[in-house]
């Protein structure tokens, strides 16, 4: 399979119609009942309290042949798509492909797209479909050459056209839409830090929102760096209040329709983050009917 040529053909076809490909599933995901056939919503505050309620997703059954899961993470900038996609990547043994990382790698490479991307990113604009598809195609092609199977996409698709192109290339099993209240989103984005040496991602923000007007409180602890990285932290150039707010406005206008695209196809699982990783991770696993045994063992130690 030539991934680049497939993406190119799909990009052309997406302007007129959606295309799908039949594929053997490694993980068979049952209906999203008891919710509507168009989408599922998992409310951690309520759904976990009713132990007699059926799980949001049925059992994930591993088959001996075929491909691995092909999932997509949606959500506003800074919601934590990369964090949870990376954890699921490790748990399920599939590559986590973040288009934001692909863009940053291209920026650092000083390649032909570097200067063009720098201007786009610092202004908080969306990178064009053509650039993103080119970068993603190269990444998928390289992964295929290494024998990778399946993926968890983070940051793509961001527009309906991109979703149509992706659907013409492969069959997405599930789209997980992470949701977080806006005041927490803004604080998280402004608190993000990167180690200039190892590239590790951390967050210095301590978010403590009090309960009021019937809304539950929320606490998200900082994610501090290890001692060897503490003096090497830098802020992403696009993590300023003005740019973050602009990214959120762009998301509302352009990316929310992508949610409707997948909702109409019965592939959208909406998950409201109740807090930081300690609160949200086990509840997300419950929503997906998965179990992280290593996490349980470390918690019991």
- Return the HEC string of 88-134: HHHHHCCCEEEHHHHHHHHHHHCCCCHHHHHHHHHCCCCCCHHHHHH
Q: How many CB atoms lie within 10 A of CB 13?
A: 16
Mean per-residue pLDDT over the chain, rounded: 78
Q: Could you report the per-residue pLDDT of 131-171, keeping only the tens digit for each? A: 888 888 888 888 888 988 899 999 899 889 999 988 887 88
Strands laid side by side in the 268-272 sheet: 39-42, 268-272, 174-179, 70-74, 151-154, 96-98
Residue 284 scores a pLDDT above 70: yes
Give the right CATH number for 70-289 from 3.30.70.1880, 3.40.50.300, 3.30.930.10, 3.40.50.2000: 3.40.50.300
Q: Which of 114, 62, 125 is CA-nearest to residue 91?
A: 62
Residue 23 scores a pLDDT above 80: no
pLDDT greater at residue 76 or residue 3: 76
Evaluate whether 55 touches 33 at the Cβ level (below 8 Å).
Answer: no
Residue 222 scores a pLDDT above 50: yes
> Hey, which residues does 103 pair with through a beta bridge?
none
d(Cα 215, Cα 209) in Å, to the nearest integer?
Answer: 10
Residue 273 scores a pLDDT above 90: yes
HSE-CB at 249 with a 13 A cutoff on CA atoms is 9
Q: Which residue has the tokens 């993980």?
A: 27
Helix 3-13 to helix 129-145 angle (10° resolution) is 150
Would the pTM of this model clear 0.85, i.e. be above it?
A: no
Structure tokens at 157: 């698709």
Which positions are catalytic?
A: 81, 158, 192, 236, 247
């Amino acid at each position: 399979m030539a991934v680049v040529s497939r993406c190119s053909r799909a990009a052309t076809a997406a302007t007129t119609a959606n295309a799908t490909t039949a594929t053997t599933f490694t993980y068979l995901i049952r209906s999203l009942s008891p919710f509507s056939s168009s989408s599922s919503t998992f409310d951690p505050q309520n759904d976990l309290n009713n132990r007699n309620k059926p799980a949001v997703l049925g059992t994930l059954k591993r088959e001996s042949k075929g491909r691995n899961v092909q999932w997509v993470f949606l959500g506003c900038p800074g919601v934590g798509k990369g964090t949870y996609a990376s954890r699921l990547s490790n748990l399920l043994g599939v590559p986590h492909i973040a288009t934001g990382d692909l863009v940053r790698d291209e920026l650092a490479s000083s390649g032909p797209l570097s200067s063009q991307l720098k201007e786009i990113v610092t202004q908080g604009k969306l990178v064009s479909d053509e650039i993103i598809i080119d970068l993603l195609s190269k990444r998928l092609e390289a992964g295929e050459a290494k024998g990778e199977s399946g993926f968890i996409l983070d940051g793509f698709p961001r527009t309906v056209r991109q979703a149509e192109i992706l659907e013409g290339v492969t069959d997405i099993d599930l789209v997980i839409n992470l949701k977080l209240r806006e005041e927490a989103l803004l604080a998280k984005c402004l608190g993000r830090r990167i180690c200039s040496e190892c590239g590790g991602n951390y967050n210095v923000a301590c978010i403590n929102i009090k309960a009021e007007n019937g809304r539950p409180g929320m606490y998200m602890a900082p994610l501090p760096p290890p001692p060897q990285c503490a003096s090497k932290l830098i802020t992403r150039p696009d993590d300023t209040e003005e740019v973050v707010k602009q990214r959120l406005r762009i998301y509302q206008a352009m990316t929310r329709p992508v949610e409707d695209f997948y909702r109409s196809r019965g592939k959208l699982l909406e998950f409201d983050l109740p807090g930081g990783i300690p609160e949200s991770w086990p509840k997300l696993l419950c929503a997906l009917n998965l179990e992280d045994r290593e996490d349980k063992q470390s918690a019991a130690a």
